[in-house]
Amino acid sequence: MMAVSSCKDKKDGDTESQEVPEQVTTDTAANGIKTMTFTDDQYKLSDIQTGKIESRNLSSIIKMTGVIDAEPESEASVSAPLGGYIKTAGLLPGQQVKKGQLLATLENPEFIVIQQQYLESLGRLEYLEEEYKRQQELRDEDINATKTFQQVSADLKVMKAQISGLEQQMALIGISSSALKKSGSISRTANIYAPIGGYIKASNVNIGKYVAATDVLFEIMGTNNLHLALNAFEKDLGKIRPGQSVKFSLSNENRYDRTAKVFLVGQAADNNKMIPVLCRFSQETGLLPGMYVKALLETSAEQQNAVPTDALVQLEGMDYIIVQTNQAKESYTFQLIPVSKGVEQAGYTAIELPSTVNEDELTVVTKNAYTILSAIRNAEEEE
């Protein structure tokens, strides 16, 4: 038979614990403590084990989620500075490209104008250089006027500046000034090359499409400099520091067998009250930007009261431990004590007891605590 003891029983005038089959009573007027008494046979059958609250050196574990991200220098958005019509097909997302690889060819009448101006300016420069030499010789012999020499000198400087500007414009649109100078052949097309190596993240081009200077044609994501971009709750900000180790795994993995180190902790929360935590790791095969990850960060250890995790039970949304309060000849009495859970590590969970409880005096049920909790629940349902 299963029995229950409570302060209410004693209030009713009985100095001994009453035996109430399959029933539990609580002293809701006082402190709501729930107790349960097992017979000796029930105790042995339930294989209950007890122990003491231990002081353990436990580390806090901060759980975070995030993605594998690329360093800023490993991301590139490619556009056409002067715009134009696309003459080649786009690349497929995920396609690998090398730095300097041809991405697209554009056609624009303005390209013709720029090259024409460049070649004309080269011809004009050649004439001005010869004229400058001639006027300098005449000036040395004091034959020509100073003003004439100064005018030629100024024209030469202006022409050099104009040519330099045209060369920079051609560099922007992918036309080689040295090749144009050598061949003298004007092209109506210009090439766009990959500024970095990596993978095509997005391709927004097709043949015949007109693109403006502000349009992004390609997005390239490099894979050489990757890091973890994790999110931590505001409350954990004070526990996270650069240099701490992080264990992480991909979202579909169960083993946290990859490691990284924190190198940057954000100092401002986003709209979701999350703090960015960036971690670097050594290059690993199979990791690509955009992959979702989950991570664990272990903070410094400290002495805390702890019990085996199996000793904790839940009732009505609250956490409890069950303690043995009495052992008579033929019975064992147990009591629920509310606790606040802390960090869980290596099979133990840190707990915080009510201030009125002395942990040294407690005998905690460490195995099959849920057997006692089930008896309490069953008894409550039958009341």
| Range with lowest mean pLDDT among 4-8, 48-52, 367-371 | 4-8
What's the confidence (pLDDT) of residue 115? 95
Sequence ranges of the chain with CATH classification 2.40.30.170: 61-72+224-302
Cα–Cα nearest to 297, from 225, 351, 243:
243
CA angle 134, 140, 144 (to 5 degrees): 65
Most confident stretch, 157-166, 215-224, 288-297, 301-310: 157-166
* Maximum Cα interatomic distance, the chain, rounded to a whole number of Å: 137
- Banded pLDDT at 153 (limits 50, 70, 90): very high
**CA dist., res. 37 & res. 287, Å (int):** 57
pTM across the whole model: 0.56
- By the 8 A CB rule, do 221 and 289 touch? yes
CA distance 50 to 170: 83
| pLDDT score for 66 | 94
Q: Where in the chain is the domain with CATH 2.40.50.100?
A: 73-221
Q: How does residue 32 score in pLDDT terms, banded at 50, 70 and 90?
A: low
Q: Give the contacts of 293 (CB within 8 A, at least 6 positions apart).
A: 65, 66, 67, 68, 228, 230, 248, 249, 250, 251
pLDDT for the residue 58:
78
- Give the whole-number percent of the chain exceeding pLDDT 90: 42
**By CB neighbour count within 10 A (0-12 exposed, 13-18 middle, 19+ buried), where does 238 fall?**
exposed
Q: What is the mean pLDDT of residues 180-206?
A: 91
- pLDDT band per the 50, 70, 90 thresholds, residue 322: very high
Given a cut of 50, whether residue 27 has pLDDT beyond it is no
pLDDT at 167 over 70: yes
pLDDT at res. 382: 67
Query: Can you give the pLDDT at residue 162?
Result: 96
Q: How many CA atoms lie within 13 A of 92 on its CB side?
A: 3
Q: Taking 60 as the threshold, does the pLDDT of residue 344 lie above it?
A: yes
pLDDT of 2 > 80? The answer is: no
User: pLDDT tens for residues 196-244?
Assistant: 999 999 999 899 999 999 999 999 998 778 899 999 988 888 889 898 8
Instruction: Specify the higher pLDDT residue, 95 or 382.
Output: 95
- CA 322 vs. chain centroid, Å, equals 40
Strand partners, 305: 55
Q: Is 365 in a helix, a strand, or coil? A: strand
Superfamily covering domain 61-72+224-302: Efflux pump adaptor protein, beta barrel domain (2.40.30.170)
Please answer whether residues 33 and 26 qualify as being in contact, where contact means their C-beta atoms are separated by less than 8 angstroms. yes
Read off the pLDDT band of 299 (50, 70, 90).
Answer: confident
> Under CATH, which number does the domain 7-57+304-382 receive?
2.40.420.20
CATH code matching the domain that covers 73-221, chosen among 3.30.1490.20, 2.60.120.260, 2.40.50.100, 1.10.3720.10: 2.40.50.100
pLDDT of residue 234: 87
Please list the residue range(s) of the chain that carry CATH number 2.40.420.20.
7-57+304-382
pLDDT value, residue 4:
40
Q: Is the pLDDT of residue 3 over 80?
A: no
Q: Which of 197-201, 241-245, 246-250, 300-304 has the lowest mean pLDDT?
A: 300-304
Alpha-carbon span 364 to 343, nearest angstrom: 19
Residue 267 in this model has a pLDDT that exceeds 60: yes
Identify the top-confidence range among 28-32, 101-105, 281-285, 341-345.
101-105
Comparing C-alpha atoms, which of 76, 170, 64 is closest to residue 117? 170
Burial class (CB in 10 A: 0-12, 13-18, 19+), 226: buried
Q: Of 43-52, 268-277, 283-292, where does the model show the most confidence? A: 43-52
Q: What is the mean pLDDT of the chain?
A: 84
pLDDT exceeds 90 at position 113: yes
